[in-house]
Amino acid sequence: MRQAFVFPGQGAQTVGMGHEIAQHSPAARAVYALADHALGWSVSELCFAGPEAQLTATENTQPALVATSLAVLAALAGDVDQIVPYTRQHAVAVAGHSLGEYSALVAAGSLSPAAAIQLVRQRGELMAAATSGGMAAVIGLDDDSIDQICRSVSTPSAAVVVANYNSPGQTVISGAVAALEAAGEALKAAGAKRVIPLKVSAAFHSPLMHDAAQALAAHVARTTIVAPVIPVISNITAQPLQTPADIASELPAQVESAVRWVSTIQYLIADGVTHFVEIGAGNVLSGLIKRIAPEATTTTITDVASLEAYRAQFTN
């Protein structure tokens, strides 16, 4: 069986995430301790006990989710230092949805856990500081039609673009408020079942995030990045990131570019992956994967029971 490990992004967070597995696993506790030290405040307490309003703030959500994904992966591997060897032994590739790409890069050995957690805190602060525009989920319309409509209603001063190609029939658009509203009306007229405004502070994964991307690039330039030991599939191109330079370019550009999750999963399926293991909080990605590739099998690992069940089935 060819497996890929996948890691969730923003929106998967819940108060209490990681608490049980940290109680059970010294390796998971070590990751949370490392994250607390890297940040200078207790992200572990925020994950375990909230409050929810604080956890869902973008600047907090991002390090909290990466810490939780890495804690679960460390528990699976048995030790923080075994994350990369374990991943290399059991997965043929890794990928993460938006923010989750940082967890994937740690799993592949390109970023240290501390560096990833510090970077996503900076990323979250920069994204939270952006206040222009908004986002909406489009349900029940094909991507080509959505792309065309976004282009048709955009103007040089008010653009809207596809931000997330999540699964067939579920796409997210992002951009200036006026363009979002015009796109919403046109999309419904074209047959979209629903156009749902999202509760976000800005137009993530759109050109309106350019300043945040440029600022993040300065932080990335000061971070040690090494070549991945297994393929990390890019959110932007849905192709493997192969060099430190590739990764250093990817991380800032990702903030203002579309997340091509459908193409990412299709690439992995074409490469022979038959099983996807979602590691961290929630099961959002498993649901998307089943809609993209119904023939694939999925496992989610979020707690002790799911971790032990996976070990019993796949690693013994």
Q: Domain range spanning residue 140?
A: 134-201
Angle, alpha carbons 289-173-62 (nearest 5°): 65
Beta bridge partners of 36: none
Choose, from 98, 167, 263, 286, the residue flagged as catalytic: 98
pTM above 0.75, yes or no: yes
- Residue 280's region, left for phi above 0, alpha for psi from -120 to 50, else beta, is left
Same domain, 17 and 121: yes
pLDDT at 315 over 80: no
Q: Is the pLDDT of residue 316 over 60?
A: no
Here the CATH number for the domain that contains residue 167 is 3.30.70.250
Q: Domain check: are 15 and 114 in the same one? A: yes
In tens, the pLDDT along 144-160 reads: 999 999 999 999 999 99
pLDDT at site 131 = 85
Residues 260 and 123 in one domain: yes
Number of separate domains in the chain: 2
SS3 assignment, position 300:
strand
Shared domain for 227 and 188, answered yes or no, is no
Strands 134-139 and 194-197: antiparallel
Please indicate, yes or no, whether residues 92 and 73 belong to a single structural domain of this protein: yes
Tokens in use for 188?
């419904």
State yes or no: is 205 an active-site residue: yes
Q: What angle do CA 39, 42, 47 make, to 5 degrees?
A: 110
What integer is the mean pLDDT of 274-299?
A: 97
Backbone phi and psi for residue 94, each to the nearest 5 degrees, phi listed first: -135, 155
**Residues 118-128, mean pLDDT to the nearest whole number:** 96
- Write down the catalytic residue from 110, 205, 206, 234: 205
Residue 313 reports pLDDT greater than 60: yes
pLDDT mean over 38-47: 97
Q: Is 120 within 8 Å of 102 (Cβ atoms)?
A: yes
CA angle 106, 206, 179 (to 5 degrees): 155
pLDDT attached to residue 218: 97
Give the rounded percent of residues in the chain with a pLDDT score beyond 90: 95
Region 23-39 average pLDDT: 97
Q: Are 291 and 170 in contact (CB under 8 A)?
A: yes
Same domain, 295 and 258: yes
In the chain, what percentage of residues exceed pLDDT 70? 99
